[in-house]
Structure 1
């Protein structure tokens, strides 16, 4: 066996779509060709630890190093010196950073230590969530770090954000959309048991949304949307699937609106295929997104999608598998959901069109092949 290419992956946010993306990527790369190390920050729940174990069991060198999610000068400087020492000792051929904080620390450390190939996958640029002076500061740093990068790997919507904000020249941007491996997703064959678990009657129209309970997802708009729909169709049930820092305030809002029996917070769900098995429509009210895996999963399970057109989501979907809505416009979003309640065959057709689009545009084989081409 010849000399293997040494790759260091860095990820601050050990959870959600960014970790799923990394798991897909490292488990696809040949152990004969690549020697892989992953440095990650804190794992948020048990399911994530299972994914990390899966990476480790495939021969990946997995290292925990706690990084501050927010800007913290002292902690960030300590992390930078840790990475400088680590990269200097291990002599990597490639450093590939995932998410904004790791994108800053790993790219800078790799550049200072003379790593020849430096890649960055933002999983939604941080400036996409900011306004005013804060946004200008984040754009400035992205521009500086782009000069240190060999390639920045983006989804189509992130590509447009990078070009519109003049982050870097077109030739440094590589569009590789997220993708899912169909065989990794179980069939949803426990519908009755799942309905019983969440105390939902058979025949109810079920709307679902999945994600971290954070400001980004704008759950307040989702709850007000539910309130509007329920005025006309009180037998509808809304699911909020996930955990996070906003849980208490979301529960308070649900109680204020007297919707405890209609909006169900499930907490974090490991067997997510069971959720997709019972919902009729997938809804996202996010303020910003890249190409989240929940969209691809909804398409995998043939669910119609209603989503805010927060950051060029119109580049993700075709015209016939999703309704795109203005951000925070809960009345507009509710009207689109009502139209699907009133025409269930339309919802079914939209789900089928979404699956066709997924197979055509978000191929896992293409995802892996494009990364391999960059690395080789």
Structure 2
């Protein structure tokens, strides 16, 4: 079986490498290749430099778009040029059994390829772009384009996967939609013993969506008692550091690290906190739970799908003093925290293991070529 995987528009192997996620992003394809001997061709938005990265996937091929067409610095012209891509890779798609779009953005390219080659198309979505655009108050044109892209993708593709029940409920009438949550590595047996007692971990982009302002404000005047460690990068770096100083908070913002290193970092912390305003199927929470962290998360729909309050984690309303009060109440409840940690590891293993998602995605592939 030959699958052509289209990267998210604008992303390349170099993008993944620079963000420290290249091994994780490729891992699901590696497992499918090893278990079912499926061969992959990766169509990326890089140049010849992408060819130097080893996917570690047997018989895989990398096709960087900007080794075939000229990269244009103007984003509008670059978008218009993207309509040349299906023609440039026509022989690759004709020799493929299935076309697979890695994320919704960029789906117009495999859609055109499908229309020319009549190959089945699977479109994976990690979150609903249109719903996110509403939350982020994007301008009308952007919202319209995301809605149009979602609708045409759903109409033309053969399988459309989402990572959360909240997203699946947006498309109740479509039989094409399948739930395929994000995966995590099998959880270890690490206990809470020996983990940081007074350091709290959070992971994610330094963006408004993550609501780190609320996190810092909740822990005002705790300097010398509690340390907040955030792993992520973004435009709010300076603002958040200044806010922490004004609020008398010990805050360390760490740059992105390799995914393998991040997994080891989770194991050092007893508590993980997410204050996000909205999410898809958050990998950071799944990873934190799978590695035994006690997760405190904002009570939003996509968090409450994962966390059963006081069973495998904690949910809190984002009101003044709610988070700090909750943390102060539970931080010394060792027996209960141990139970929550164990429940979290078991629940994530049952629902989000790499092995389980490997089987489900392969079943999608086989359904497409029956």
What is the TM-score when the length of structure 1 is the normalising length? Answer: 0.78
- In structure 2, relative to structure 1, the CA distance for the partners of 1:217 and 1:35 (3 Å cut) is same
Q: Give the aligned partner of residue 93 of structure 1.
A: 97
Aligned residues: 341
Alignment of 1:117-128 (within 5 A): 117-128=120-131
Q: 1:106 aligns with which of 68, 93, 109?
A: 109
Q: Give the aligned partner of residue 35 of structure 1.
A: 39
Q: Which ranges in structure 2 are unaligned for 5 or more consecutive residues?
A: none
Q: Is the 8 A contact 2:20 2:257 kept in 1?
A: no
Alignment of 1:1-376 (within 5 A): 4-12=1-9, 13=11, 14-15=15-16, 22-30=25-33, 33-41=37-45, 53=53, 55-56=55-56, 58-65=58-65, 72-91=75-94, 92-102=96-106, 104-131=107-134, 133=140, 135=143, 137-157=145-165, 160-164=166-170, 166=171, 169-182=173-186, 204-227=197-220, 230=222, 235-259=225-249, 262-270=250-258, 271-319=261-309, 320-326=311-317, 328-329=318-319, 331-376=321-366
The CA RMSD measured in Å over matched residues stands at: 3.4
Q: Is the 8 A contact 2:130 2:147 kept in 1?
A: yes
> 1:119-148: CA deviations, max 9, x gaps?
111111112222264545523331122101
Secondary structure, in 3 states, of the residue corresponding to 2:220? helix
Q: 1:176 Cα deviation (Å)?
A: 1.6
- In structure 2, relative to structure 1, the CA distance for the partners of 1:203 and 1:179 (3 Å cut) is closer
- In structure 2, relative to structure 1, the CA distance for the partners of 1:58 and 1:33 (3 Å cut) is closer
Q: Is the 8 A contact 1:108 1:148 kept in 2?
A: yes
Secondary structure, in 3 states, of the residue corresponding to 1:101? coil
Q: 1:18 Cα deviation (Å)?
A: 8.2
Secondary structure, in 3 states, of the residue corresponding to 1:258? coil
> 1:164-199: CA deviations, max 9, x gaps?
3x4x7331111122222328x8979xx7xxxxxxxx
Q: Give the aligned partner of residue 195 of structure 1.
A: none
Q: Which ranges in structure 1 are unaligned for 5 or more consecutive residues?
A: 44-48, 192-201
- In structure 2, relative to structure 1, the CA distance for the partners of 1:6 and 1:298 (3 Å cut) is closer
- In structure 2, relative to structure 1, the CA distance for the partners of 1:186 and 1:318 (3 Å cut) is closer
